[in-house]
């Protein structure tokens, strides 16, 4: 049995270091210069939004509450890790290894680095600087595991770490050789505090993330009511109370559940889901009326209650001439209206799916439900692919003149296209369990006119096909 004090685990949810082709720590100008040198690769510029990242981590923390009763976000200006206390719940999963597998399944689609140790600081170091994606320090053995780590693993400021490196103190073992009394005066109190937190000499708490309590409002009629206008008026009045209370808490509404209890014991339920948490009373009333029109009330109603599920209200600052956020809000409201009128499964979006064959490498999912996964960063397990958005179905047989394996000329649409540059091959093979196995070698080509195409050659017969056009 492990000791009861065993166990904070850190899940490093940031996949920046693991994302292929992503380079951090450089300016935008440097990135553009490198991009120009590597033709055939697209450049994606993402603006950092710390508030959105923190909100997404909070949602992930609540998702991981099925693995631990105490889940929190690390205390940092730009947090990128989750903290889970597994000291009293690992045995419920059959041990720490099955629990780690449960965490990986819960956060499926993310590139994870997991660390388990007796102290939060040690677990953080294992997750960020361990040699493996899953690093577990045996009970009371975390001190030995920390000694070989760099001093950066102590969660200290970059300025302090740079000073230590200039003095030749590169490893935590080197730092532990110094007299403790001299560390605060030479490097500041933070270094000693972080060292004690990593070794377990100073306790560190996890502040659990708990979902906001729902806001509820209820109206009980003096006598059963059959008038629909009266019921609608009461319903909208309760909605205004819920919005006012949510605004007082500085939270937004992401779902509304209404229940009408009838005189004979039956009930009617109305639910409104939002793509983006909102506090717009007008927008919520419109959505509620859309759902209200779809129910048939055949018996008198005695009670109406409204419950709203809340979410953090994301505060974003706009520039003087930037209206992207307002456009996003209008699009979200449009999707809300369409989804609540037509049904959530009628408004879909295409997402990548991990399938080797391009024809089957996508799925459609309800946009309302997909939004929550996207807010926690995209949970798709697919990596970015340099493939065209426009695919020809079915692929068109073409004539290609090749030099060796690379295409030189393409004959398509009664025209001859001279290839000036090509990339590939990218070999795609499907499993034996497919009824019709596929083996293809894909090439991206650029013609003299500047057009770009996506070709493949069948591995079994050698015929060429045009499968996509880069827009």
Long-range contacts of 201-204 (CB under 8 A, 24+ apart): 204/8, 204/119, 204/120, 204/121
Under 8 Å between Cβ of 312 and 328: no
The DSSP secondary structure of 76-104, one letter per residue, reads SSS--EEEEE-TTTGGGGTSHHHHHHHHH
Nearest to 366 by CA among 390, 380, 348, 382: 348
Domains of the chain: 8-199 (no CATH), 215-312 (3.30.1490.100), 390-470 (no CATH)
Looking at residue 171, its pLDDT comes to 93
Looking at residue 116, its pLDDT comes to 92
Looking at residue 164, its pLDDT comes to 93
Query: Per-residue confidence of the chain (471 residues) as pLDDT tens digits?
Result: 233 334 444 443 333 333 333 344 456 777 777 766 665 556 677 666 777 778 788 888 888 888 888 998 888 888 889 999 988 888 888 888 889 988 988 888 788 899 999 999 999 999 999 888 898 888 888 888 889 999 999 999 989 999 999 999 999 999 999 999 999 889 989 999 999 999 989 988 888 888 778 899 999 998 999 888 888 899 899 999 999 999 998 888 989 999 999 988 788 888 888 888 888 888 888 888 888 888 888 889 999 999 998 877 655 545 544 444 445 677 777 887 788 778 777 788 887 777 888 888 888 888 776 654 444 344 444 444 578 888 888 899 999 998 878 899 999 888 899 999 988 888 888 877 777 888 899 999 999 998 999 999 987 678 899 999 987
Give the integer Cα–Cα distance in Å for 18 and 1. Answer: 35
Give the integer Cα–Cα distance in Å for 30 and 43. Answer: 12
Looking at residue 378, its pLDDT comes to 42
CB proximity list for 370: less than 8 A, separation 6 or greater = 349, 351
C-alpha dist (Å) from residue 61 to 49, 266, 373, 461, 468: 18, 37, 13, 52, 40
Nearest to 269 by CA among 291, 290, 238: 291
Within 10 angstroms of residue 142's Cβ, the number of other Cβ atoms is 23
Looking at residue 434, its pLDDT comes to 77
Looking at residue 336, its pLDDT comes to 79
Nearest to 83 by CA among 190, 197, 208, 203: 208
Looking at residue 69, its pLDDT comes to 87
Looking at residue 232, its pLDDT comes to 87
Nearest to 265 by CA among 303, 217, 226, 219: 303
Under 8 Å between Cβ of 471 and 388: yes
Handedness of CA 373, 377, 381, 387 (dihedral sign): positive
C-alpha dist (Å) from residue 261 to 211, 236, 255, 291, 396: 27, 17, 20, 17, 60
Under 8 Å between Cβ of 114 and 18: no
Under 8 Å between Cβ of 290 and 273: no
């Amino acid at each position: 049995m492990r000791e009861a004090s065993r166990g904070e685990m850190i899940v490093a949810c940031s996949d920046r270091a693991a994302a292929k082709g992503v380079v951090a720590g450089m300016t935008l100008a440097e990135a553009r210069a490198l991009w120009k040198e590597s033709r055939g690769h697209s450049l994606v510029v993402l603006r950092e939004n710390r508030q959105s990242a923190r909100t997404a981590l909070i949602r992930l923390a609540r998702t991981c509450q099925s693995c631990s009763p105490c889940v929190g976000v690390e205390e940092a200006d730009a947090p990128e890790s989750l903290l889970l206390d597994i000291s009293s719940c690992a045995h419920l999963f059959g041990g720490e290894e099955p629990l780690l597998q449960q965490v990986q399944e819960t956060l499926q689609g993310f590139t994870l680095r997991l660390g388990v140790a007796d102290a939060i600081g040690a677990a953080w170091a294992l997750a960020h600087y361990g040699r493996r994606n899953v690093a577990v320090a045996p009970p009371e053995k975390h001190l030995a595991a920390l000694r070989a780590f760099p001093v950066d693993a102590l969660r200290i400021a970059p300025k302090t770490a740079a000073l230590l490196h200039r003095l030749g103190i590169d490893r935590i073992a080197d730092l532990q050789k110094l007299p403790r009394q001299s560390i605060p005066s030479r490097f500041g109190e933070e270094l000693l505090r972080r060292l004690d937190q990593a070794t377990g000499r100073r306790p560190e708490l996890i502040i659990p993330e708990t979902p906001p309590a729902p806001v509820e409002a209820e109206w009980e009629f003096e006598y059963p009511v059959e008038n629909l206008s009266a019921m609608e008026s009461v319903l909208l009045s309760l909605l205004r109370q819920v919005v006012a209370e949510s605004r007082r808490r500085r939270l937004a509404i992401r779902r509304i559940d209404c229940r009408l209890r009838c005189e004979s014991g039956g009930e009617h339920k109305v639910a409104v889901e939002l793509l983006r948490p909102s506090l717009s009373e007008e927008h919520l009333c419109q959505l509620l009326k859309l759902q209200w029109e779809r129910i048939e009330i055949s018996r008198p109603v005695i009670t109406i209650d409204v419950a709203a599920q809340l979410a953090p209200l994301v505060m974003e600052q706009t520039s003087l001439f930037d209206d992207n956020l307002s456009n996003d809000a209008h699009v979200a409201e449009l999707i809300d209206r369409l989804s609540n009128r037509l049904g959530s499964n009628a408004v879909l979006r295409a997402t990548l799916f991990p399938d080797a064959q391009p024809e089957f490498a996508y799925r459609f999912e309800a946009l309302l439900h997909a939004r929550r996964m996207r807010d926690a960063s995209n949970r798709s397990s697919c990596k970015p692919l340099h493939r065209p958005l426009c695919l020809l179905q079915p692929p068109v047989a073409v004539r290609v003149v090749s030099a060796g394996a690379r295409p030189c000329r393409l004959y398509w649409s009664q025209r001859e296209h001279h290839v000036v540059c090509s990339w590939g091959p990218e070999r795609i093979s499907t499993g034996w369990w497919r009824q019709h196995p596929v083996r293809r070698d894909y090439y991206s080509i650029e013609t003299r006119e500047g057009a770009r195409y996506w070709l493949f050659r069948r591995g079994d017969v050698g015929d060429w096909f045009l499968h996509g056009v880069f827009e």
